[in-house]
Amino acid sequence: MAINDNELSRLDSYGLAELIRAGELSPTEAVQASIDRIEELDGALNAVVTKRFERALEDAAGDIPDGPFKGVPFILKDLWTSSADEPMHLGNKALKEINYISPVESDLARRYREAGFIVVGRSNTPEFGLVGTTEPESYGPSRNPWNTDYGTGGSSGGAAAAVAAGMVPSANASDGGGSIRIPAAMCGLVGLKPSRGRVPMGPMQEEWGLSIQHVVCHSMRDAAGILDATAIPTMGDGVVAPTHGQPYINQVGIEPGQLKIGIWNKSPRDDLDLHPDCQQLTQEAGEMLEKMGHTIEEAHPSVLDDPAIAGRFSAIWMAGANLTLKNLSKLLQREVTANDVEIGTWLMAQVGARTSGLEVLQAQADMGAMRRSTLKWWENGWDLLLTPTTLVPPPPIGELVSTEDEPMRNSLRSIPYAAFTSPFNATGQPAISLPTGFSSEGLPIGVQLVAAYGREDLLIQVGSQLEAELQWGRNRAPIHA
């Protein structure tokens, strides 16, 4: 390997794939370099909880599918994106104790494999991905490469730490309430949440739920190109998003023309404060977009001011937690007890168990009405909405961890991080967190852009404009290969 490893660790997935395709680097060398970086850095960060090193090297030396990312090392999030006959622990101590092995390869994992990615491990996640911090009892906290006294967000916190530290150029992530965008903001990365139905979620999840999957990465071309490689529906997909603007890689660097962008830079809830650093960064992003020729006005869908939205989301989230424990029982092949899960998870599931089917259906209906009302704002001539990604900067390690005195602390203290992100899981719209700056303490914070349903192309175009201006790919965390 002639290329310096420090230079290698700064490449995005496209750049690494180009080296491999040109014969300047073999897949085995690329994978071994990634393994070396994980072994060097992960002791400080705790990002990778399942090491797949021997199999990865075997895959790299074997017959790799001739996809656009042939030979590029990659990490799967340790939730439902599973490899066949390999560990899947979901951040849960009971599954870790028995070293549960998934019998199936998920549809999305197959898309990654067909694209040529080689999985080197699985990333740390909060238990079942239920909260906005990655500090599970099963594996301990993931730490922020920018300052290890701080968290990485959740639930894709391990993935974000691994990419921010240069272990891999991109990593699988999922987002049910902000779990791609929140860690991306906290770790200085690009985090695109695609439209509902854009990527396959089977066979263990459904496309019509709150959650959707993609990656955290450093560049707009990775966000676009990896989406092209995975946005291929299967016969069983329950929702398939419209194919407007594909292939997305062709949208990188395309001028979008003059857009009408609303800026929502006040707290969406009366009981929560917007940190001045997050507010200032969003204001600066709006001014930058205005200098690029876009029209920026203070505006947002008024229906999102409805305080009842949080309760509807919570009803579905808690019912989902209860269903998760039913699924855990199937994996363990026995009844689940309180000792099998964290106290916050157990209590969420108990709330979900007391939520009637009628209440869940009513919440879904109300959220459907909210979705239609929200999207009318886009139908009425707005192109994008600009917000802070989170209300506050990254928290210190331990601040969002449940205790005996505050058993729901991990859930309740996650709310300021998801207040701007979770509404768009309910509506199914694409949204992206962009690493446009830092807090006054030097920690990454991000801004969010939201487009109409199916319009990832606009997010990629405008994200590319900001990327060209800010050159955020040059920024690397203090803990980096």
The one catalytic residue in 170, 179, 211, 402 is 179
CA atoms within 13 A on the CB side of 210: 27
* 179 catalytic per annotation: yes
> Structure tokens of 47?
């990002």
190, 189, 194: which is closest to 174 by C-alpha? 194
Q: Tally helices (H) and strands (E) across the chain.
A: 17, 13
Burial class from Cβ neighbours inside 10 Å (0-12, 13-18, 19+) for residue 4 reads: exposed
Number of neighbours of residue 212 by Cβ within 10 angstroms: 26
92, 88, 84: which is closest to 324 by C-alpha? 92
How far apart are the C-alpha atoms of 355 and 381, rounded to whole Å?
39
Strand locations in 321-454 (E): 384-388, 431-438, 444-451
Residue in the block written with tokens 């930058």: 288
* 326 catalytic per annotation: no
CA angle 278, 283, 287 (to 5 degrees): 150
Torsion, Cα of 452, 199, 418, 51 (10° steps): -150
376, 266, 364, 389: which is closest to 311 by C-alpha? 364
Query: Beta partners for 193?
Result: 431
* 77 catalytic per annotation: yes
The one catalytic residue in 9, 102, 155, 422 is 155
Alpha helices in 165-275 (DSSP H): 181-187, 220-230
The one catalytic residue in 9, 13, 34, 77 is 77
Residue in the block written with tokens 């509902």: 196
| 190-193 β-sheet, strand order | 48-51, 118-123, 73-77, 170-175, 212-217, 190-193, 431-438, 444-451, 384-388, 260-263, 295-298
Residues recognised as catalytic: 77, 155, 179
